[in-house]
Amino acid sequence: MNSTFYLPRKLLSSDRTYTEEALLTTSHYIVVLAEPGGGKTELMGSLAQKLGVATVAANVFGHVGTNVDSCPLVIDAFDELAKVDQTGIHKLLANARRANPTHVIISSRSSEWDNAATSAFENFLGQRPLIVRLCEFDEVEQRAIFDRHVQDEDFSAFKAEVARFGLEALLPNPPVFDIIR
C-alpha cells in the first residue's frame, strides 16, 4: 500500500474496542496480535509516531537494545525473533527492562505469543500487558482502500467478483488491495 495513505486502526481486547489514541491512554504496556498481512507493521509505525519515537525490529532490539533510556519502546515483529530464538522474548524483555521505558508496545503474530510470553513480560517489566487484537477492516474501510488504489472503478462490482470466487475472507486483509493495483 502507498505509505502516505493510512487508515487508523481499531483494536479489540475481550469485549472492548479501542482506537489507537484510546489504546495509548489506556495502557503503557501493550501486545498487539494479528495474523500475517493484518497491518501490524503499519499500526506500529502509527503508534510510534504518536509517541514521538521510531519502531525497532524485535530481532535488532533483542540483540542490541537501545541507547536511549526512559522513552517509549515500540517493538515490531516479535514473531520473527521467536522463530529464530525461543529464548528471544527473555533477551528482548531484559533489554527493555534495562531501558526503563515509559511504554512498551510489542507486535506479534497470534501464533507466536502465548501465556508464557505474557508471563515473561510481566516478570521482566512488572506489568501485565494489555493484549489486543487488530480488528479487520470493515466494509467502509475496505471501500476507502479500494477507492484509493483504483479510481473510477466500482467497489460493489469488485466485491461481487471476489464473492463469485469465494474469496470474501481476503477483503479485510490489507495486502489484498495491493493485488488490484
Q: With CA atoms as reference, report the closest residue to 137 among 169, 160, 162.
A: 169
Average confidence (pLDDT) per 10 residues, the chain, 181 residues: 76 96 98 93 97 96 89 95 83 95 96 93 97 94 88 89 87 69 53
Question: Is the pTM above the cut of 0.75?
Answer: yes
Number of CB atoms found within 10 A of residue 110's CB:
15
Residue 179: the pLDDT is 63
Residue 1: the pLDDT is 40
Residue 2: the pLDDT is 43
Query: Exposure string (b/e) for 134-149, b if CB count within 10 Å is 16 or more?
Result: bbbbeeebbbebbeeb
> What does the pLDDT look like over 58-72, one tens digit per residue?
999 988 988 889 999
